[in-house]
Amino acid sequence: MTAVEFINLLISALLLAGLYAAVAVGMTIIYGVMKIVNLAHAGFMMLGAYFNYELFEWLHLDPMAGALLSLPVFFVFGMGVHWLLVRWLPKSDQPTLSSLLLMFGFWLVLQNVGYLIWGNSDRAILTAHRRTLPLGPITIPTAGLVVFIAAVTCLAVLQFILHKSWFGRSVTALIQNPYAAQIVGVDHQKTSQLTFGLGTAFAGFAGALMAMLFSFNPDFGRPFLVRAFVIIVLGGLESVTGVAFGALILALIETFGILFIPAGYQPAISFGLLVVVLLVFPTGIAGLLKRKWRLA
């Protein structure tokens, strides 16, 4: 492998990592605050993709604007879903079967509504963004770069919100110690609803971004669910930084893995990684690091 090939692969891994982080972060904060494994995340991503598609088809809106618009729309949608369904789940410190089934069932509903509306043929958003940015021998896909920048910017904004706002501190407090959060008066229900809205906003946003890169159908999002699990296991639930870190590792392994195994086996990489990580260090890499500053 030449140096140029290596750099090109490195760049595509980096671009991929940004996208993966945007996918996983919504699941992470929802799991952290509510201990719900949100399987419907894939459904929200699918809706995000079609949302962007419809805006593009009917209003000829730039897909980048559509993706940004998906944030507030899906935030409200997520709050609605929480109000309608999620808040009735029993509270627990552990993921419960009922929450798993509810979110899985809701995903199936979303998927089938998708089939009803859009059928099962693949759609894509075709724009002028599909060029590459040549930098001598190194090429960067423009669409990929734009998506990467959008994803990373949103992650940075989220990081800022979590660290500098009262809402963000209450989210962190609930993730790290729900009992202590209750003692100082954090309203679990209200913070949960906002968090669910935020997580859904990120799912819709990630889906809308991906619609600029990939074709999609109502089953869209499924392969990214496993990847999100791997990223969460690798990076832990503590921070956006952890998610970015997990996303980077997965993207690097997936991208460079293609050199060694046939492309058709690529999805096996994330599955394999999940198994290996759970067997070798079940607390994740973040868990290993965390032991250093765990409270006595």
Position 176 contacts other proteins (CB under 8 A): yes
Which is closer to other proteins, CB of 132 or CB of 176? 176
Give the x/- contact pattern for other proteins in 232-251, rule: CB under 8 A. Answer: ------xx------------
Which is closer to other proteins, CB of 280 or CB of 295? 295
User: Minimum CB separation from other proteins for residue 22, in Å?
Assistant: 22
Helices (H), the chain: 3-34, 41-59, 63-84, 97-118, 142-164, 166-176, 178-183, 188-210, 222-235, 240-257, 266-280, 284-290
User: Judged by CB under 8 A, which of 146, 152, 173, 273 binds other proteins?
Assistant: 173
Position 132 contacts other proteins (CB under 8 A): no
Which is closer to other proteins, CB of 98 or CB of 165? 165
Tokens of 83: 């109000």
User: Judged by CB under 8 A, which of 182, 271, 275, 276 binds other proteins?
Assistant: 182
Q: Residue 140 is inside which H or E element, if any?
A: strand 138-141
Q: How many residues bind other proteins (CB under 8 A)?
A: 24
SS (H, E, C) 235-272: HCCCCHHHHHHHHHHHHHHHHHHCCCCCHHHHHHHHHH
Q: Residue 138 is inside which H or E element, if any?
A: strand 138-141
- Footprint of other proteins (CB under 8 A): 163, 166, 169-170, 172-173, 176-177, 179-187, 238-239, 290, 293-296
